[in-house]
Amino acid sequence: MNNTIVVNEASPPEVGGGIYLRRYTRPVLRNNIIVNNSEGEIIAQGSKQEVFYNNIWNNTPNNYNDLVTSIDGISVNPLFVNPDSGDFRLQPGSPCIDAGDPTSPLDADGTIADLGAFPTYHFDTPCIWLINHQLVDEDENGRVDAGETANLIVTLKNTSFEAANGTGHRL
């Protein structure tokens, strides 16, 4: 789930430049972006795949081959920020934003999951997220005992496309 698979190649006669699904497997492909791959995007051999909520687009010579189960998803340009330089984040307005399975865990901004590995959050101003925190006590026994000091280590990330300067940013 939530992979971004771009510009993979399989040399003929090999197939499955994007994903190759062997017979008798039952994978679930969900919330992925699979674009611009060559020699076959998803190749399936008679297995029962569940392929939902993916953006599968512009793969050559085709997007699917021999898939058994129904397919539900989109096939459009994902509007990466700068794929030529390896930046596969989603531009604001990308059709992959909020296009994931509504029953998947929500993105960090509380919206429906984006497709792919790099969700874009819904803020028009820089926003800094608390993505991890850890309380480290002196003797590392997991509690701050009476008279003991501890360090709170926080990890913040600016999830927007702009620098966050000054004050007033949301945590």
Interface residues with Ca ion (CB under 5 A) are 98, 107, 111, 114, 137, 139, 141, 145, 148
Closest CB 119 distance from Ca ion, rounded Å: 5
Between residues 39 and 98, which has the closer beta carbon with respect to Ca ion? 98
Query: Tokens at residue 144, please?
Result: 């701050």
> d(Cα 159, Cα 171) in Å, to the nearest integer?
11
Closest CB 128 distance from Ca ion, rounded Å: 18
Number of Cβ atoms within 10 Å of the Cβ of 11 = 9
Closest CB 137 distance from Ca ion, rounded Å: 4
What one-character DSSP code corresponds to residue 112? P
Between residues 146 and 171, which has the closer beta carbon with respect to Ca ion? 146
| CA pseudo-torsion sign 121, 126, 130, 132 | positive
Between residues 41 and 98, which has the closer beta carbon with respect to Ca ion? 98
Number of Cβ atoms within 10 Å of the Cβ of 107 = 19
Cβ neighbors of 77 (< 8 A, separation 6 or more) are 35, 57, 58, 95
> d(Cα 58, Cα 131) in Å, to the nearest integer?
34
Between residues 39 and 107, which has the closer beta carbon with respect to Ca ion? 107
Residues 113 and 30: beta-carbon distance below 8 Å:
no
Between residues 44 and 96, which has the closer beta carbon with respect to Ca ion? 96
> d(Cα 133, Cα 153) in Å, to the nearest integer?
5
Closest CB 63 distance from Ca ion, rounded Å: 24
Closest CB 108 distance from Ca ion, rounded Å: 9
